[in-house]
Amino acid sequence: MKKQFSISKVFLPFIVLLFTIILIHSLNAQVSLDMKDYTAEMIQHEYQTIMKKLGNKDGIGGPNAQDRTQILRTKAWGVSAVEKTIWDAEGVMTSYDVYGMKNGELIWEHQEFKKTSVHFMITIAQDGTLSRKDLTVVAVVPTKTPPAPTQIPIPSPTVSPTESPEVTPVVSPTLPDEITTVSTPVPEETAGVKETPVMETPVTTPVLPTLTPVPPKPTPTRVPPTPIPIKEKVIFVSNRNGNLDIYTMNVDGSDVEQITFSASNEAYPCVSPDGKKIAFASNRDGNWEIYVMDYDGKEDNAVRLTFNNTDDLYPSFTADSKHVVFQSNRDGNSELYMVDINQPRKQERLTVNEADDIHPRVFKEVKN
């Protein structure tokens, strides 16, 4: 009998191989497409546009700017760089870019904050070639879940009710008035021996000792800790050395100490509720901006919180010591804003009107 010829068995391996080649080609094409989305000319043009907008300033724009874009000078990869941040209409950060020149190569790091996070870095070599590095963190999922430990059942002990034994009353026998003598007949050869009387022993009920109760030990009285006295201080501004600087002193006027020493003017100081930070305004960078420094007086570690061409004044700490409310006329008239001292890019406009809102002070409201 002749074997039937099956076309499917002959061509099935070729079909599988063809499908694999198409799949690999499509994946390579997708990677190539991602790289083709950006050219060296496009990236260099964007970098030059940002530098032209920034000019000689340290920063421009912000989340409340017309284009919701902020450009700041920063440090990255060990060199000077610029960063560009964009927010949406709801104040949520949508993208973050950093550009910098290192060893003649332009480095661009891009990050998007959408439903699908995108984070990569592209380097443009001196010959114009591009190299991309994906910085997106991929969650590692274990291929095999370890089995849960087997729990050994521990049987609960069965408690049998204890039966109280029946108490048999002990009846004390009544002693007879006379001792009864039991006589046993004596053989003739033992005659003459004196008989011994037999007596019954009475049963005596034992008497239990009386227990004396022990009084409980007295509870020791807890002594509250001695409160640490809080030293009141005064923070103020003085031009006793030629320009405006910040000073502190005791409430009685003693122990005057200078906090800032720069050649510019520092004013409007505010101490954080936890006593660790001082927020103030300074014109050390050309116009009045908000800064924050440690209370120990290390002015060199002061951090700049605002970056505008207008004046930002009158800082005031919130109760958590993590935010500063201040006055700014960056949008045409004086309004109130709030900034996170740990993330200066997070700024929020608090008032929106045509009138001037000035001199903010944060306080705790006490209601009876």
Query: Would you say 257 and 247 are in contact if contact means Cβ atoms under 8 Å apart?
Result: yes
Number of compact structural domains in the chain: 2
Is residue 121 in some structural domain? yes
Query: Would you say 282 and 291 are in contact if contact means Cβ atoms under 8 Å apart?
Result: yes
Last residue of a domain, one of 98, 118, 134: 134
Give the per-residue pLDDT at 66.
Answer: 85
Task: Give SS3 for 313.
Answer: strand
Is residue 123 in some structural domain? yes
Is residue 163 in some structural domain? no
Give the per-residue pLDDT at 334.
Answer: 92
Is residue 356 in some structural domain? no
DSSP 190: G
Is residue 12 in some structural domain? no
Radius of gyration over every alpha carbon of the chain, rounded to an integer in angstroms? 47
The residue count for the chain: 368
Any idea what the CATH number is for the domain that residue 343 is in?
Answer: 2.120.10.30
The secondary structure of the chain in percent helix, strand, coil, rounded to multiples of 5, reads 15, 30, 60
Is residue 366 in some structural domain? no
Whole-model pTM: value is 0.42
Is residue 13 in some structural domain? no
Last residue of a domain, one of 134, 161, 179: 134
Is residue 190 in some structural domain? no
**314 vs 309: CA distance, rounded Å:** 17
Query: Would you say 247 and 261 are in contact if contact means Cβ atoms under 8 Å apart?
Result: no
Q: What dihedral do alpha carbons 241, 244, 250, 256 form, nearest 10°?
A: -20
Query: Would you say 338 and 325 are in contact if contact means Cβ atoms under 8 Å apart?
Result: yes
Per the structure, the complete domain to which residue 317 belongs is given by 233-349
Query: Would you say 317 and 323 are in contact if contact means Cβ atoms under 8 Å apart?
Result: yes
Please give the chain's pLDDT, 368 residues, in tens. 444 555 556 677 777 777 777 766 554 444 433 555 778 889 988 998 998 888 888 888 888 888 889 898 888 888 888 899 998 888 888 888 999 998 889 999 998 876 667 888 999 998 889 898 888 654 443 444 444 444 545 555 544 444 444 544 544 444 444 444 444 554 554 445 455 555 666 666 666 667 777 777 777 777 777 666 667 899 999 999 899 999 999 999 999 999 898 889 999 999 999 999 999 999 988 899 999 999 876 777 889 999 988 899 999 999 999 999 999 998 889 999 999 999 988 899 999 988 999 999 999 888 76
Sheet holding 105-112, edge to edge: 59-61, 69-76, 79-87, 93-102, 105-112, 118-124, 130-134
DSSP string, 148-172: PPPPPP-PPPP-PPPPPPPPPPPPP
Give the per-residue pLDDT at 323.
Answer: 96
Token pair for 51: 């530098």
Last residue of a domain, one of 134, 151, 174: 134
Give the per-residue pLDDT at 79.
Answer: 84
From the centroid of its chain, how far is CA 107?
A: 32
